[in-house]
């Protein structure tokens, strides 16, 4: 049996990624119980704070995606309540959750990341969409990838092949956020590298290669079984795999993250990884990438989650 005592798994929330979060929470709760941990799963509603004050958990595992789950807000509350939790602190979350800001940090430590333009909705409308988008195409070229500056699960994200597709992609993006990140598309192998730190420093798990059946790793491709083929470990040369591992650990460290993160990369034809984004609360569903990485590394997911919780309590 675990010596952790009572553990709380937070799942749900009110973001667009609520359903994914609930699935992640169920999975984490299941594997922790199998590892002998006393687990309670709770949503983030008005009863949460009184419940924690009445019966403080020994540690919290946050499986909230998007919004308050990754922007540091719920972690600020947990710190106010003096409850240990798995994952990065509030300040690091705020930087990592904002993709354009994270890209600035990533460039400062020498990693590659696609050239991009960040465009708030107000600017898009006030300056005239046609003129602004035309200049973006001239500057970045085609194809492009458009996604909300904050958020995850590829909600509001679009692959843009032609200039004519860009206006609709922007409208779709603004449905999920007030600021769009428009990136030059980098051709290559899409991989995801999870990083865990159990107290001895950050360590990259094997990269997972992502091959969507329709070419784009969108929301449906992420969470519908059979829509995407995964290879764990990724089918990379040893040099490229090492470069991806180094890039993920560098991103984790530069952004001030802790315990666990997942970095998404594109590996170009020369084996160079290009940083796309980092996730401070990686998905833990049946089709999520961190569990695949753990399995490829020969690690039991329940034991890994239990160790992350123990590390949090040790802090």
Binding-site annotation: residue ranges for Mg(2+): 264, 277, 279
187 in active site? no
Residue (of 277, 30, 267, 249) closest to 151 by Cα position = 277
CB atoms within 10 A of CB 270: 7
Residue 190 in contact with residue 209, Cβ under 8 Å?
Answer: yes
Question: Which helix or strand (DSSP H or E) is residue 242 part of?
Answer: helix 238-254
Q: How many CA atoms lie within 13 A of 27 on its CB side?
A: 22
- Residue 55 CB-density burial (10 A; 0-12 exposed, 13-18 middle, 19+ buried): exposed
Question: What is the Cα–Cα distance from 260 to 195, expressed in whole angstroms?
Answer: 6
Active-site residue among 15, 116, 288, 293? Answer: 288
194 in active site? no
Residue (of 204, 94, 103, 109) closest to 145 by Cα position = 103
Biggest alpha carbon distance in the chain? 63
Question: Which helix or strand (DSSP H or E) is residue 260 part of?
Answer: strand 260-267
Helices marked H in 81-175 — which ranges? 90-97, 99-108, 121-126, 129-140, 166-174
Question: What is the Cα–Cα distance from 137 to 214, expressed in whole angstroms?
Answer: 24
Tell me phi and psi for residue 257, to 5 degrees: -80, 170
List binding-site positions.
264, 277, 279
17 in active site? yes
Instruction: Quickly tell me which residue has 């019966």 as its tokens.
Output: 55
Residue (of 255, 276, 256) closest to 265 by Cα position = 276
Question: What is the Cα–Cα distance from 240 to 19, expressed in whole angstroms?
Answer: 34
Active-site residue among 153, 192, 261, 293? Answer: 153
Active-site residue among 15, 17, 70, 116? Answer: 17
List the catalytic residues.
17, 153, 288
């Amino acid at each position: 049996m675990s010596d952790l005592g009572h553990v709380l798994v937070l799942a749900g929330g009110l973001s667009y990624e609520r359903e994914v979060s609930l699935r992640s929470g169920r999975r984490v709760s299941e594997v922790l119980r199998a590892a002998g941990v006393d687990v309670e799963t709770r949503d983030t509603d008005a009863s949460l704070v009184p419940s924690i004050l009445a019966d403080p958990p020994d540690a919290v595992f946050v499986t909230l995606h998007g919004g308050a789950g990754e922007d540091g807000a719920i972690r600020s509350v947990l710190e106010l309540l003096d409850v240990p939790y798995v994952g990065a602190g509030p300040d690091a979350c705020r930087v990592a959750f904002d993709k354009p800001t994270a890209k600035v940090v990533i460039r400062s430590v020498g990693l590659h990341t696609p050239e991009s333009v960040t465009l708030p909705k107000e600017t898009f409308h006030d300056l005239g969409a046609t003129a602004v988008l035309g200049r973006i195409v001239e500057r970045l070229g085609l194809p492009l990838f458009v996604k909300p500056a904050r958020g995850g699960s590829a909600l509001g994200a679009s692959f843009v092949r032609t200039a004519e597709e860009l206006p609709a992609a922007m409208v779709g993006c603004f449905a999920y956020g007030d600021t769009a990140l428009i990136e030059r598309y980098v051709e290559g192998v899409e991989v995801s590298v999870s990083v865990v730190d159990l107290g001895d420093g950050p360590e990259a798990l094997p990269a997972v290669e992502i091959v969507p059946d329709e070419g784009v790793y969108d929301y449906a491709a992420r969470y519908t079984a059979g829509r995407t083929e995964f290879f764990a470990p990724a089918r990379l040369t040893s040099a490229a795999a090492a470069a991806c591992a180094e890039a993920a650990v560098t991103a984790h460290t530069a952004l001030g993250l802790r315990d666990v993160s997942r970095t998404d990369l594109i590996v170009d034809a020369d084996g160079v990884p290009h940083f796309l984004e980092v996730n401070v609360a990686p998905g833990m569903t049946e089709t999520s990438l961190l569990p695949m990485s753990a399995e490829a590394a020969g690690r039991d997911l329940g034991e890994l989650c239990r160790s992350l919780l123990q590390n949090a309590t040790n802090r």
